[in-house]
């Protein structure tokens, strides 16, 4: 298995533009998580899905952020419009069963909004 695949690895965009981050989880994993890494808060959970259904989006900072999981092999995190304070590394992780198994993280997308 190629692991969790995220794209793009790096994204530089101008303030106000729409940004879409993509994630392909490990096949067979039924949980998918989006995290954001910042200096202030470390790894911050934004949203997670179980069997493609969003379970908890309480970590999504505001309405500019949205996430979808149209099928078991693909998820997107969209920011519209983007702002400089959104600059961070965004990680996607998947897990077979959240309680007893570790998460497998993707390589992350480093987003810079100028």
Partner 1 sequence: ILNVEQSPQSLHVQEGDSTNFTCSFPSSNFYALHWYRWETAKSPEALFVMTLNGDEKKKGRISATLNTKEGYSYLYIKGSQPEDSATYLCAHSHTDKLIFGTGTRLQVFP
Which one, 30 or 68, has the nearer CB to partner 1? 30
Residues 6+ positions from 71 with CB-CB distance below 8 Å: 52
CB of 14 to partner 1, least distance (A): 25
Which one, 70 or 102, has the nearer CB to partner 1? 102
CB of 101 to partner 1, least distance (A): 6
Signed CA dihedral, 5, 22, 27, 48: sign only = positive
What is the contact surface with partner 1 in residues (CB under 8 A)?
A: 31, 33, 35, 41-43, 45, 48, 50, 55-56, 91, 98-108
CB of 68 to partner 1, least distance (A): 18
Please tell me the number of Cα atoms within 13 Å of 13 on its side-chain side.
24
- Give, in order, the Cα–Cα distances in Å from 89 to each of 12, 71, 108: 12, 24, 6
Which one, 82 or 91, has the nearer CB to partner 1? 91
């Amino acid at each position: 298995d190629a692991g969790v695949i995220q794209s793009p690895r790096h994204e530089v965009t101008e303030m106000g533009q729409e940004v879409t981050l993509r994630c392909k989880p490990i096949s067979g994993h039924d949980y998918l998580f989006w995290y954001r890494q910042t200096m202030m808060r470390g790894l911050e959970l934004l949203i997670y899905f179980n069997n493609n259904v969003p379970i908890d989006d309480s970590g999504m900072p505001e309405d500019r952020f949205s996430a979808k999981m149209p099928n078991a092999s693909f998820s997107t995190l969209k920011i519209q419009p983007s702002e400089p304070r959104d600059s961070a590394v965004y990680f996607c992780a998947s897990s077979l069963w959240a309680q007893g198994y570790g998460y497998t993280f993707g390589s992350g997308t480093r987003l810079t909004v100028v």
